[in-house]
């Protein structure tokens, strides 16, 4: 509105030359945060990723992890991780177009309504949720649609190719006698992307080692879980997973938990979810489950491991076919 009023005033005074100069000077101020103040970081076929996109996501992730933003060494690994993630998202977006996977406005509204029902949110509660997350409804709709389309690509191109042999599961289960015990353990999780670099892995591992030292110096494990764990359930259970059997958890986690002495805190343990600190609180002998009783848990573990492997292979294949160009600053 201010621009229109000033434009009319200048035009009425027949100062068109002055108006043009005024517009050139004022326009960047009116478009702060837009492409005029942004620049292209990566070109992927017909898609672009801007530097602002990367930096905003880096700050979001750093804030979520409660990192010291003044320490720039914290941001480098996160920037690499976010850059890889944005490339993966763009590749899935491109593939959705190639497969002609679409979502109409009506279908999108139905999906958002389903999201509200699944989370037991009334319309008012949903609006409050957006306000707390500092999200506008158009932004939420746009990003929800993108996530939906990417999930449909995965449903079509990855999930159908995950095959699990039940006889193989049963054979391996029968050989594992450690199922006769269950443990009660708690953990602290620091998430790690499947495509993380060795430097990212080193920094995440070091972060857990520092947390372990804090615990050994007097910080309670449950308080450390509240402060640092990236497992969403930690805010409720303070990292305590209760009793579980070996097949209830991913292999790497279970092997460490079942071998740890009671009350001893592990070194960082890497699983498909990231790095864990584990402390075993109790152990007890239990009657071994039949394969039928344990089958669902076994399938879930095997499926998760196969999915991670298939997804990495799929993304690697998409990257090999795409034209990816990094723009130097």
Q: In the structure, what pLDDT confidence band is assigned to residue 254 with cuts at 50, 70 and 90?
A: very high
User: Domain ranges in the chain?
Assistant: 2-75, 99-157, 177-291
Q: Is the pTM of this model over 0.75?
A: no
The CATH number of domain 177-291 is 3.40.190.10: no
For residue range 24-53, list pLDDT tens digits in order: 333 333 333 334 467 999 999 989 999 999
Pairing of strands 181-191, 240-245: antiparallel
Pairing of strands 40-44, 324-326: antiparallel
Q: In the structure, what pLDDT confidence band is assigned to residue 1 with cuts at 50, 70 and 90?
A: very low
Residue matched to tokens 């008012």: 124
Of 20-29, 39-48, 89-98, 217-226, the range with the lowest mean pLDDT is 20-29
Average pLDDT of 200-219?
Answer: 93
Distance set, CA 309 to CA 53, 117, 139, 158, 313 (Å)? 28, 32, 32, 10, 6
Sheet holding 240-245, edge to edge: 240-245, 181-191, 274-285, 269-271
Name which of 171, 177, 186, 174 is nearest 286 in CA terms.
177
Average pLDDT of 306-328?
Answer: 93
Model confidence at 175: pLDDT above 80: no
| Phi, psi dihedrals of residue 305, rounded to the nearest 5° | -65, -40
Q: In the structure, what pLDDT confidence band is assigned to residue 65 with cuts at 50, 70 and 90?
A: confident
How many Å apart are CA 138 and CA 144, to the nearest integer? 10
């Amino acid at each position: 509105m201010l621009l229109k009023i000033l434009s009319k005033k200048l035009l009425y005074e027949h100062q068109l030359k002055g108006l043009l100069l005024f517009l050139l000077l004022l326009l960047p101020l009116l478009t702060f945060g837009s492409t005029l103040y942004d620049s292209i970081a990566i070109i992927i076929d017909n898609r672009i990723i801007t530097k602002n996109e990367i930096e905003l996501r880096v700050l979001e992730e750093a804030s979520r992890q409660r990192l010291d933003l003044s320490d720039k060494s914290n941001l480098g690994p996160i920037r690499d991780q976010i850059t890889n993630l944005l490339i993966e998202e763009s590749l899935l977006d491109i593939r959705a177009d190639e497969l002609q996977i679409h979502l109409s406005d009506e279908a999108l509204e139905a999906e958002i309504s389903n999201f509200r029902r699944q989370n037991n949110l009334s319309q008012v509660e949903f609006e409050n949720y957006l306000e707390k997350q500092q999200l506008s409804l158009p932004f939420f709709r746009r990003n929800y649609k993108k996530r939906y389309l990417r999930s449909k690509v995965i449903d079509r191109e990855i999930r159908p190719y995950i095959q699990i042999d039940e006889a193989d599961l049963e054979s391996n289960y029968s050989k594992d006698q450690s199922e006769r015990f269950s443990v009660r353990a708690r953990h602290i999780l620091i998430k790690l992307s499947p495509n993380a670099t060795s430097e990212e892995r080193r920094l995440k591992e070091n972060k857990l080692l520092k947390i372990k030292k804090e615990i050994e110096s007097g910080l309670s494990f449950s308080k450390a879980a509240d402060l640092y764990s990236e497992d969403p359930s930690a805010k409720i259970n303070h990292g305590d997973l209760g009793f579980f059997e070996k097949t209830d958890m991913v292999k790497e986690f279970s092997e460490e938990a079942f071998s740890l002495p009671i009350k001893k805190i592990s070194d960082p343990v890497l699983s498909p979810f990231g790095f864990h600190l584990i402390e075993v609180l109790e152990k007890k002998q239990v009657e071994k489950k039949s394969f039928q009783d344990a089958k669902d848990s076994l399938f879930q573990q095997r499926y998760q491991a196969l999915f991670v492997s298939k997804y990495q292979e799929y993304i690697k294949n998409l990257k090999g076919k795409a034209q990816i160009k990094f723009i130097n600053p």
